[in-house]
Structure 1
Amino acid sequence: MMTTEIQFVKIATSDALTTYIHNKIDPLATKYPWLIKAQVFIKKLNDPKGKTCSCEIEMSLPGPRIYASSIEENYEVAVKNTISDIEKQLKKRKESMTSH
């Protein structure tokens, strides 16, 4: 079973955002049972242009780790985009694992 660590950097922890992240990440553990751990970093950036919400995710699994990040105007969009990138990488990894 995959463990998920969520860290809020320079912002207060949010139960709603934590639940949202779990709802998005947990299905990946079902789809890819070889996942070991997900580390999620939610950060507040100082960007005068407005995109201040950052999400970084690092996945531990057999072989090299997978990493993705995105910076958006709100945290939900940043989380969604980052998980989308992670899922693309997981699909590629799964294809390379099954072809050998």
Structure 2
Amino acid sequence: MKKTMTIRFEYHEVQASKRLEAFATEKLEGLFNKFSMIIRADVFFKLENTTSDETGKICSIRLSVPGPRLFAEVNQDDFMNSISETINNLDTQLTKKKGKMTNF
């Protein structure tokens, strides 16, 4: 039986978007294929009032994995950029975690 990962989306001050969910799901599935230890992902989209054109769209992702949860958050000008950068941060964290796990 193939393992699956549960993904939950939450929106704060942001309209729900199938496009954002599809993009985030695609990126998360890439992580899951690389690191099958991921059990669940909680994805949060938030808008922040800011004076800069380069920030304001925040993507936070919390991953449930064996041991402490992993978390990353990025604030960019566009949700797609925020998702991509957050996934990159989590990839780095997962690579470090996998290196520390002996029976993986």
Provide the TM-score with structure 2 as the length reference.
0.91
Output the CA distance in 2 between the equivalents of 1:90 and 1:83. 10
Matched, 1:77 2:81: yes
Report the count of equivalent residues. Answer: 100
Partner of 1:14: 17
User: Does 2:103 align with 1:86?
Assistant: no
Give the gaps of 5 or more residues in structure 1.
Answer: none
**In the alignment, which residue of structure 1 is the partner of 2:72?**
68
Q: Work out which of the residue numbers 54, 60, 82 in structure 2 matches 1:56.
A: 60
Deviating beyond 3 angstroms after TM superposition, the runs of 4 or more aligned structure 1 residues are none
Percent same amino acid among aligned pairs?
29
Give the TM-score normalised by the residue count of structure 1. Answer: 0.94
Distance of 1:41 and 1:98 partners within structure 2? 31
- The answer to which of 87-96 and 21-30 deviates more is 21-30
User: 2:45 aligned with 1:42, yes or no?
Assistant: yes
Does the alignment pair 1:30 with 2:49?
no
Distance 2:37 2:78 in 1: 31
Per the TM alignment, residue 98 of structure 1 is displaced from its structure 2 partner at its CA by: 2.7
Superposed CA RMSD in Å reads 1.4
Q: How big is the shift at 1:7?
A: 1.1
Cα distance in 1 for partners of 2:5, 2:100 equals 21
